[in-house]
């Protein structure tokens, strides 16, 4: 099995990625193409959302002679207002890597052999049906992505949940956004943020909870910086476990020990109450108090099961719970000085300040991810700073359609479009719209992502179709799941655009159309649906993931459920999907409207977008006659939860004495399978590294660039050290970007997860370091 393509990728990127554009404009650099195009007039520009994060920036793609040759920001898109980050400006180069998959491949006698794509699709349908017949409906599964378009995810869910009758549908957003979902559901009873990016223009204070926005959401961060430059009373507070580029740009940088954000959030609430900064009018009218189970485990064992139980409490009981979280007590737990905790509480509690909290993977990839989401909502609810311009607790998204395709479409084992499989009414709606018997839709969820790959290893799942994602890089405790996928009686289908460690384990590889080579929709963090047309043709036999699924569905005998013609199937799918969301709480814009605009926010009611939910000035779903209406909960109130601090699943000890934290860098996106084919991005950061505090490096006898062995209870990896680079971890912590398949850091990480959201924690496990 070949896992190290680094040298090939390097040569392919340098020698041939985007060779077509070089032929059109010989000797002209990529940065000059847009200017040249405007001068020559030989390029047509077409709008699209950007592919390379969840912000949802609008771009204009320049096309000449059937090739995408330039990109600029879309000035009509309110998300980015014409600005892009470096990945956006170079995004179309990712279409043209030398090793692009253009033909289907099938494993024959141990070797991958090119075959006509129709033959490969025949094999996929046959193996799927044979596996289901021999081992039952739950022996087959599909694993997708927040990079799926909305039609991709919708068709996958309809085929597997509606027609095949299995809830074995998951997406990699389980690894990045599941805690945001469960946090929102448990606090508000309905998913997705109540605010929007316009909050950035109104807020006085931004607090980034474990979120390196300068690199992970650079366009939004630039809007924050612009707001601070324009107005004198704007502050950015970086609250994190390591120093990053966000720390450098912030007004204050406050460092906490891993996992102790739980304790700090409770201490902020304690201070707000102690200093009588509670917005009593808001709390009395719109809030109720609750507690759940504690000591809830970490999910490291197979078949782990947990169900929380809410119990109502009153304000006095909540106040008593917080007595364990005074700033002085929490300073000893978290390492955050009591004065800094009081400072944060004062910012949240000052009625003259508008406060927006931003978070992403630092809070969501957390063994208590649901709890920390709840706790930050608690802070905003206590002071009533929510659902108004500039006052917003806001969970950001890391993929272009983790919200649209996963949270809205419901491509998780327990979800349906705008519903859950456990609810009979939701199943009845799905069965009617999908034209399948109600009995087809199983009321019991099956496997979340970690358990799905455990089931593949055990043999409970024997057929899995993986689309638009690279789990053989991204799964924690990776070696177990790669070994499981390679077992003899497992059949793995992979749809992708480039060779990856995941295509290495495949029995069938289907070449996929990428981004603007197809029509589709994404849904971003601020509830904005963004439509894009097919701008260029896919290479060779590549086709959209949606059409691959339709081809297989028809081979399985489901022509009635998948009747669409290739000329207009995306519009037809969208209008069917809209039926799930009819009504003022989640109404989606019609296809014709999406086609005209650079994104439309939902709920879209009577031709108007909803920017702030739960606020009757902006939200037509509010009907209680009050100044706010939290209609997601049966009591029409938002819930404040008493959630304690509990330690991480694995903490440093005498044998494994360092914390390991993993994440991304601005140049590369996720596993790098696309951005490492872009010359300027690849050359900027050609390989991964381990960030080490300079004093820890000195004790190890390691200098910059020397090799270091990182060892955990699960595996080990050797990679170069980076000392005093762009990020500097605190003593006793190391940080590793995960984009480089040559350094599979997830062979070291732990597959513990939040028991409520089932989202793994990639930010905290114990390792030791050795000089290699």
Alpha-carbon span 148 to 673, nearest angstrom: 15
Can 361 be counted among the known catalytic residues?
yes
**Active-site entry in 47, 67, 72, 87:** 87
Residues with Cβ within 8 Å of residue 132, at least 6 apart in sequence: 139, 140, 164, 463
Per DSSP (E only), the strands in 678-732 are 690-692, 707-711, 716-723, 728-729
Closest CA to 458 of 491, 505, 490: 490
- Contact yes or no for 47/58 (Cβ under 8 A): yes
For residues 733, 734, 739, 742, the Cα torsion angle rounded to the nearest 10 degrees is -140
**Active-site entry in 85, 176, 185, 224:** 176
Alpha-carbon span 172 to 164, nearest angstrom: 21
Alpha-carbon span 431 to 445, nearest angstrom: 16
Closest CA to 602 of 526, 520, 521: 526
Alpha-carbon span 688 to 705, nearest angstrom: 11
Alpha-carbon span 609 to 590, nearest angstrom: 12
Closest CA to 460 of 468, 451, 448: 451
636 φψ region: left (φ > 0), alpha (ψ -120 to 50), beta (else): left
For residues 310, 312, 313, 314, the Cα torsion angle rounded to the nearest 10 degrees is 140
Closest CA to 152 of 713, 733, 550: 550
Alpha-carbon span 639 to 187, nearest angstrom: 5
- Contact yes or no for 365/175 (Cβ under 8 A): yes
Which H helix or E strand runs over 734? strand 733-737
Can 46 be counted among the known catalytic residues?
no
The DSSP-derived string for 4-72 is --HHHHHHHHHHTTTHHHHHHSTT--HHHHHHHHHHH---EEEEEE-SSSSS--EEEEEEETTEEEEEE
**Active-site entry in 147, 365, 399, 548:** 399
Can 177 be counted among the known catalytic residues?
yes
The full 3-state SS of 173-230, as one line of letters, equals: HHHCCHHHHHHHHHHHCCCCCCCCCCHHHHCCEEEEECCCHHHHCHHHHHHHHHHHHH
Q: Is the peptide bond before 603 cis (omega within 30 degrees of 0)?
A: yes
Can 475 be counted among the known catalytic residues?
no
**Active-site entry in 56, 153, 349, 398:** 398
- Contact yes or no for 729/691 (Cβ under 8 A): yes
What angle, 0 to 180 degrees and rounded to 10, lies between the N-to-C axes of helices 545-555 and 569-578? 80
- Contact yes or no for 404/150 (Cβ under 8 A): yes
Per DSSP (E only), the strands in 287-391 are 287-291, 311-313, 355-359
- Contact yes or no for 125/107 (Cβ under 8 A): no
Residue 730 CA to its chain's centroid (Å): 26
Can 176 be counted among the known catalytic residues?
yes
Alpha-carbon span 189 to 742, nearest angstrom: 42
Which positions are annotated as active-site residues? Answer: 87, 176-177, 361, 398-399
């Amino acid at each position: 099995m070949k896992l190290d393509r680094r040298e090939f990728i390097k040569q392919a990127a340098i020698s041939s990625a985007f060779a077509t554009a070089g032929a059109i404009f010989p000797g002209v650099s990529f940065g000059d193409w847009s200017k040249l195009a405007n001068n020559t007039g030989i390029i047509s520009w077409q709008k699209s959302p950007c592919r390379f994060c969840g912000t949802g920036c609008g771009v204009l793609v320049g096309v000449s002679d059937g090739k995408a040759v330039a990109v600029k920001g879309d000035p009509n898109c309110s998300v980015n207002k014409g600005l892009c980050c470096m990945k956006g400006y170079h995004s179309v180069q990712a279409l043209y890597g030398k090793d692009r998959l253009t033909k289907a491949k099938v494993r024959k006698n141990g070797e991958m052999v090119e075959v006509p794509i129709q033959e490969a699709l025949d094999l996929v349908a046959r193996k799927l049906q044979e596996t289901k017949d021999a081992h039952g409906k739950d022996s087959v599964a599909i694993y997708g992505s927040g990079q799926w378009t909305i039609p991709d995810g919708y068709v996958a869910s309809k085929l597997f949940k509606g027609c095949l009758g299995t809830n074995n549908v998951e997406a990699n957003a389980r690894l990045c956004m599941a805690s945001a979902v469960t946090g929102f559901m448990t606090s508000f009873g309905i998913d997705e943020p109540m605010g929007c990016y316009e909050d950035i223009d109104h807020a006085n204070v931004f607090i980034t909870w474990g979120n390196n926005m300068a690199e992970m959401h650079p366009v939004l961060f630039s809007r924050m910086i612009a707001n601070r430059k324009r107005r004198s009373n704007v502050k950015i507070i970086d609250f994190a476990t390591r120093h990053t580029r966000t720390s450098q740009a912030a007004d204050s940088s406050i460092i906490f020990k891993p996992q102790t954000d739980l304790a700090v959030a409770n201490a902020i609430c304690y201070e707000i109450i102690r200093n009588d900064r509670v917005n009593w009018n808001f709390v009395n009218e719109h809030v109720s108090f609750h507690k759940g189970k504690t000591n809830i485990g970490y999910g490291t064992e197979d078949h782990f099961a947990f169900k929380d139980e809410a119990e109502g409490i009153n304000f006095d009981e909540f106040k008593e719970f917080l007595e364990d979280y005074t700033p002085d007590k929490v300073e000893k737990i978290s390492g955050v000085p009591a004065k800094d905790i009081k400072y944060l509480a004062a910012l949240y509690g000052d009625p003259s300040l508008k406060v927006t909290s931003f978070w992403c993977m630092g809070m969501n990839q957390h063994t208590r991810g649901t709890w920390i989401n709840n706790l930050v909502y608690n802070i905003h609810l206590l002071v009533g700073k929510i659902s108004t311009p500039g006052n917003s607790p806001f969970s950001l998204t890391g993929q272009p359609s983790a919200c649209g395709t996963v949270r809205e479409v419901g491509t998780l084992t327990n979800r349906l479009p705008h519903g859950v499989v456990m609810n009979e009414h939701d199943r009845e709606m799905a069965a009617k719209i999908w034209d399948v018997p109600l009995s087809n839709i199983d009321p019991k969820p099956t496997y979340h992502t970690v358990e799905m790959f455990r089931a593949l290893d055990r043999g409970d799942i024997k057929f899995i179709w993986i689309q638009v994602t690279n789990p053989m890089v991204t799964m924690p405790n990776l070696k177990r799941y790669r070994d499981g996928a390679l077992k003899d009686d497992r059949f793995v289908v992979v749809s992708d655009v480039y060779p990856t460690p995941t295509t290495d384990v495949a029995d069938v590889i289907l070449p996929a159309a990428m981004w603007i080579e197809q029509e589709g929709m994404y849904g971003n963090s601020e509830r904005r649906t963004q439509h894009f047309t097919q701008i260029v043709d896919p290479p060779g036999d590549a086709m959209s993931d949606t059409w691959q699924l339709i081809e297989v569905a028809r081979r399985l005998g489901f022509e009635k459920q998948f009747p669409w013609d290739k000329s207009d199937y995306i519009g037809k799918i969208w209008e069917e999907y809209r039926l799930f969301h009819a009504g003022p709480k989640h109404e989606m814009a019609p296809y014709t409207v999406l086609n005209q605009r650079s994104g439309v926010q939902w709920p879209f009611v009577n031709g108007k977008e909803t920017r702030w939910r739960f606020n009757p000035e902006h939200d037509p779903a509010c009907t209680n006659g009050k100044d706010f209406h939290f209609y997601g909960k049966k009591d029409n109130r938002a819930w404040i939860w008493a959630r304690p601090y509990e330690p991480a699943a694995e903490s440093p000890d005498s044998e494994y004495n360092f914390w390991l934290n993993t994440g991304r860098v601005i140049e590369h996106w996720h596993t790098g399978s696309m951005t490492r084919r872009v010359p300027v991005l690849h050359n900027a950061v050609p390989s991964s590294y381990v960030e080490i505090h300079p004093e820890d490096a000195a004790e190890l006898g390691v200098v910059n660039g020397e090799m270091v062995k990182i060892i955990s209870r699960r595996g080990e990896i050797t990679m170069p050290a980076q000392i005093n680079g762009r990020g500097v971890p605190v003593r006793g912590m190391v940080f590793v970007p995960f984009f480089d398949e040559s350094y599979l850091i997830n062979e070291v990480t732990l597959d513990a997860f939040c028991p409520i959201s089932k989202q793994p924690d990639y930010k905290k496990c114990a390792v030791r370091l050795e000089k290699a």
